[in-house]
Structure 1
Amino acid sequence: MQYASPPPATWRATALAAAAVLGLSALAACGSDGGTAEGAQTAEDFDFSCPERTDGEPAADATANEETPFVFGTPGDPSTMDPVFARDGETFRVTHQIYETLLDTDCTTPSPGLAESWEQNEEGTAWTFHLREGVVFHDGEALDGAAVCANFDRWANFKGGFQSPNFTYYYSNAFGGFAENDPESGIETESIYEGCAADGLDATISLSKYTSSFPGAFTQRALAIISPKSIEAVADVAIASADDPLPAYTQEVGALAGTGPFTLTEWDHSEGSVTLARNEAYWGEKAGVKTLIFSTIPDETARRQALEAGDIHGYDLAAPADVQPLLDAGYQVPVRGVFNVLYMAFQQEYEPLQDHAVREALAHAVDRQRIVDSILPPGGGVATQFIPPSLDGWSEDVATYDYDTEKAKELLAEAGQEDLTLEFCYPTDVSRPYMPAPKDIFDMITSDLEAAGVTVEARPITWVDYLTSTRAGECPAYIIGWTGDYADPYNFLGNWFARESSEWGFSDAEMFEAVAAANSEPDAAKRVELWKAANELIMAELPGLPISNSPPSIAFAPNVYPPDVSPMTAEDFAQVYFTGS
């Protein structure tokens, strides 16, 4: 949907006001001593809101410059054009413009997508979606219930290496497993997907049991719908091993057809550029520009300079130090709500980290408040657990680990690890919403660990290999994070602590059962208490150290009408248009 002005000046004022409010909350926490429990921010200190926009008709000049390509600078390259294999925000940023899901999100709440309405049965095990009329895939096929079922059946019946989290991380987290789990996939849980029945424009998806993941999981961009012709074209593609590369078609233009407001026309892998064209047959409001280009610029300073030079018209993850100068120069810098967590993971296949005292020592060694104050944008705060404070189930009673170098030294000595050497991984050539400057964060944590007597062996890994390496358990310690896909604790805790995984290298039946119990409880009030209990158990066991929650910024030129900013970084670039000459 296009939106009428407020003009860019009003949007800038809104961003300024938000930054001021967020700055006050950050300052309120700075009087504490290095991120102690007393100094850690609470839910009241964070801004989780989505900036309001004025709905209505497009501005009078909305189509005046629609021929001008809109160029957006991104921190990293997409990895695939088959959304079910996507694992990162840079890929989803692009695929979200091409493919659509059954449900969309209004801020973080499920809202109509390809389905204009939906309902569930009393048990929450049957979900019926009533699809929009007149929706056509880019290849000319019409959307109907059978097309929806073809997608869900395709995913459920993946075999071999396709079942690896390296390929279908989001699907297996939502549905537990596959029709037939491959023994080599490491997936032992049974799939809760029982089938899909089509009736004209209706599709009913049946589950074997209730889970709090739904309906939120139906908004996940990995579960976007492609055309039946596309499914048939790639039906014979097989992956034998989890270590195999993505299939060739996932890197090609024209292999798959979606229903979105843009179509893929060019993907220049060497230049890091993806070009999309407006879908003139789109079922909803047409995009405000005819051409949309995503240009990869890994360095945040280079992204800002490209915007100032007019080479791009917007970019993501504006550095905190750049926000105010950009605003002063007339640029627009909307601030997203806080819906993420950055953490340091402890891989317990590394023997010293199997000792709780060692993990606790490392937690006490890190000055998280210094990271928040020095690197994160205003409004960020020290995280006390693995979900943001906006979600039900966040607990004030979790174990906390104050910054205390001397205590860290004592715990290491008691554990016989005074001379601990720790390989510590961090990603290069990327910025993430929860991690705006990975190397700077790594350096701060390293200095803290070394002050406690730990010898740190740095291992930088390019972002394209980072997720695979960390999920395979190759890093004893590493920094990573998560931006929520939908507003349910399982989207955070379930990703990490629902089952044993090589990502963490430990098995804890009590923890896994606590997450499962909360996820399967249909009574909302009881479910909240179960999530609190799960959070308290997780932080007592300390599989990793939550570091921070932060509100990432996104920047646009003065003559751009920006899209609604999304806490989940799920902006709809069809809303963009140029406001003047």
Structure 2
Amino acid sequence: MKKKFLSAIMAAFLAGTFLTGCGGGTASQSSKSSKTLVFAQSSDPRGLDPAYADDGESAKVMCNVYEGLIAYKEDSTEIQPCLAEKWNISSDGKVYTFNLRKNVKFHDGTPFNADAVVYNIERQLPPKAKDDMPYASFTFGEVAKVEKVDDYTVKITLKEPYTPFLANLAMSLAAPMASPTALKKSADKIMENPVGTGPFKFVKWTKSQSIELEKNNDYWGTKANLDKVVFKFIKENSVRASELISGSVDAIDGIDPNDIKKIKDSKLSLFQSKGMNINYMGFMCSRAPFNDPKLREALSYAINRDELVKQLYQGYSEVANSPLPSFIPGYNKDVKPYEYNPEKAKAMLKELGKENLKIKILTYSVARPYNSVNGQKLAESVQAYLAKVGVTATIDAFPWKEYKDKLFQGEGDMFFYGWIGDNGDADNFLSLFDTKEIKSTLNSAKYSNAQVDELLAKGRTTPNGDERNKIYSQIQDITAKDVPWLPISHAQALAAYSPKVTNFKVHPTGSIFFSKVDKN
């Protein structure tokens, strides 16, 4: 009996030693040594190729995988060097010369150099640029040519001076550098298998469920603290909050104001800051019935924005009077949309012969950083206001990717959408009214005004300062009268995370950079 007992102990010891050597018996040890952070957001990215993506869900993943020549500082849209160590601008403001960082490799081993920069930019310039590259014209539209000077020097020549150019090069969309090898091998594949130079490498994407990234141990800069970041897709705000409270996820964004109390009561950490965004109701301006600005004006009188924002967002959003947040240079403090006046709305509808107007509202079924209650609830609130002035509105709500496809195809008479500022420049918001951005889909209202186009062009070549601010102030006056879309609110940036997580923050652009985040 004693022999059998000793034999059993010895067998268990040997088995344990064997399993530990193979890694099989070290589950608890590896979980302690391996840091995995699970972050929950509302939906899948549209895609992971910077040239083809245009949404926040994509940007939040891509900013951890890719890098650009320039980066934003941690808490602002002030720029700093990244893959370019320094740069020089010619006296006429048209030639930018970038000195590139050496000894940097893409995740597939491809060297980062001048050839990579030229390839990434040229694919977004005519004649190579595709119609479904939404940020190409916005970011590189003023580029006349890009040239390799030597292996680590690139010269970009603009058609004319363009003040926002450097700020645009720090964006998470269009500007980041992807591996030329991966792009040449299969340009389509990089939409689902991104290859950049960033602090995290792509591992896998399980559609409608999650994306997994792992630490890039060969990263040229300071290595990430986390070993893995998992982006988990949970459509409903309240479900994400419950998952955080239960400990199933470590951090979330897109918080419903109704959930904030229980998040705080659960001793979780809340991130809160002024948001660089706009939540708006758009009109399809390119066709009847809303190609008539008077009809757009009439329906604007029907919406009680003050009441709407107070009820839906409970103090975590402020009423928007302009497309620009108040802290962006060029903000017009005197501009205001048409005030709530349902009697005026009814009178105008009668005058226009539209007393029994029937319209279709297109919206999204998920929460967005600029609209924490989701597009369906916002649309239903507006639907109720419109009913009071005799307008019958039906609502079609879709998941985010499908919604964007339908919107860009021109479906719906009215729609709900928003914008998260990319670079802190007024042009970044107001260019959404540029006629040339109809083709790129950034001008989702398909609004066209020659005076606005002219002012936007002037603003881009004017140096920062009072003269430039006056140009953008004038654009806000024009669009407030024309009403291509009705500004609703500016949302606070809200996120929540476990006390075990440190240095978690949402950048003003809405992106979340995980390279400095840690987990105890």
TM-score norm. by structure 2 comes to 0.88
Q: What does residue range 298-317 of structure 1 map to in structure 2 within 5 Å? A: 298-317=235-254
Secondary structure in 1 matching 2:356 = coil
Aligned to 1:71: 38
Closer/same/farther in 2, CA of residues 268 and 84 from structure 1, 3 Å limit: same
Q: C-alpha distance in 1, partners of 2:350/2:435?
A: 33
* Aligned 8 A contact 1:342 1:481 in 2: yes
The yes-or-no answer on 1:226 pairing with 2:178 is yes
* Aligned 8 A contact 2:281 2:485 in 1: yes
Q: C-alpha distance in 2, partners of 1:500/1:266?
A: 33
In structure 1, what residue type is equivalent to 2:156? I
* Aligned 8 A contact 1:393 1:535 in 2: no
Q: What does residue range 101-500 of structure 1 map to in structure 2 within 5 Å? A: 101-106=68-73, 107-157=76-126, 159=128, 163-164=130-131, 167-176=132-141, 192-222=143-173, 223-234=175-186, 247=188, 249-253=189-193, 256-269=194-207, 271-376=208-313, 378-428=315-365, 430-437=366-373, 438-499=375-436
* Aligned 8 A contact 1:65 1:289 in 2: no
Q: Which residue among 31, 56, 60 is the counterpart of 1:93?
A: 60
Number of residues of Structure 1 aligned to a counterpart in Structure 2: 483
Identity across matched positions, percent: 29
Aligned to 1:574: 515
1:149-195 deviations in whole A, cap 9, x for unaligned? 22112222564xx622xx2111112233xxxxxxxxxxxxxx53322
* Aligned 8 A contact 1:146 1:199 in 2: no
Q: C-alpha distance in 2, partners of 1:205/1:500?
A: 22
In structure 2, what residue type is equivalent to 1:81? L
1:455 Cα offset (Å): 0.7
Q: What does residue range 23-34 of structure 1 map to in structure 2 within 5 Å? A: none
Q: C-alpha distance in 1, partners of 2:451/2:416?
A: 25
Q: C-alpha distance in 1, partners of 2:238/2:306?
A: 24
Q: C-alpha distance in 2, partners of 1:376/1:266?
A: 35
Q: C-alpha distance in 2, partners of 1:193/1:492?
A: 24
In structure 1, what residue type is equivalent to 2:202? L
Closer/same/farther in 2, CA of residues 229 and 377 from structure 1, 3 Å limit: farther
In structure 1, what residue type is equivalent to 2:190? T
Q: C-alpha distance in 2, partners of 1:516/1:65?
A: 55
Q: C-alpha distance in 2, partners of 1:509/1:71?
A: 47
* Structure 1 residue ranges, 4+ long, deviating more than 4 angstroms after superposition: 63-66
In structure 2, what residue type is equivalent to 1:375? L
* Aligned 8 A contact 2:435 2:448 in 1: no
In structure 1, what residue type is equivalent to 2:104? V
The yes-or-no answer on 1:550 pairing with 2:488 is no
Closer/same/farther in 2, CA of residues 513 and 289 from structure 1, 3 Å limit: same
In structure 1, what residue type is equivalent to 2:185? A
In structure 1, what residue type is equivalent to 2:268? Y
Closer/same/farther in 2, CA of residues 150 and 284 from structure 1, 3 Å limit: same
* Aligned 8 A contact 1:423 1:457 in 2: yes
Q: C-alpha distance in 1, partners of 2:151/2:33?
A: 37
Q: Which residue among 451, 454, 467 is the counterpart of 1:513?
A: 454
Aligned to 1:531: 472
1:258-310 deviations in whole A, cap 9, x for unaligned? 101111111112x5211111100111111111111111001111111111111
Q: C-alpha distance in 2, partners of 1:414/1:345?
A: 23
1:71 Cα offset (Å): 0.7
Q: Which stretch of structure 1 is more off in the superposition, 527-536 or 143-152?
A: 143-152
1:80-100 deviations in whole A, cap 9, x for unaligned? 221211111101111111111
* Aligned 8 A contact 1:377 1:551 in 2: no
Q: C-alpha distance in 2, partners of 1:512/1:156?
A: 21
The yes-or-no answer on 1:564 pairing with 2:505 is yes
Q: C-alpha distance in 2, partners of 1:117/1:354?
A: 47
* Aligned 8 A contact 2:143 2:158 in 1: yes
* Aligned 8 A contact 2:121 2:140 in 1: no
1:498 Cα offset (Å): 4.5
1:408 Cα offset (Å): 1.0
1:325-366 deviations in whole A, cap 9, x for unaligned? 312321111113220001111112342322222111111111
1:399 Cα offset (Å): 4.7
1:523 Cα offset (Å): 5.7
Secondary structure in 2 matching 1:527 = helix
1:556 Cα offset (Å): 0.5
Secondary structure in 1 matching 2:198 = coil
TM-score norm. by structure 1 comes to 0.79
Q: C-alpha distance in 1, partners of 2:352/2:209?
A: 48
Q: Give me the CA root mean square deviation.
A: 2.0
* Aligned 8 A contact 2:106 2:195 in 1: yes
Larger radius of gyration: 2
1:229-276 deviations in whole A, cap 9, x for unaligned? 223323xx5xxxxxxxxx3x13544xx52101111111112x521111
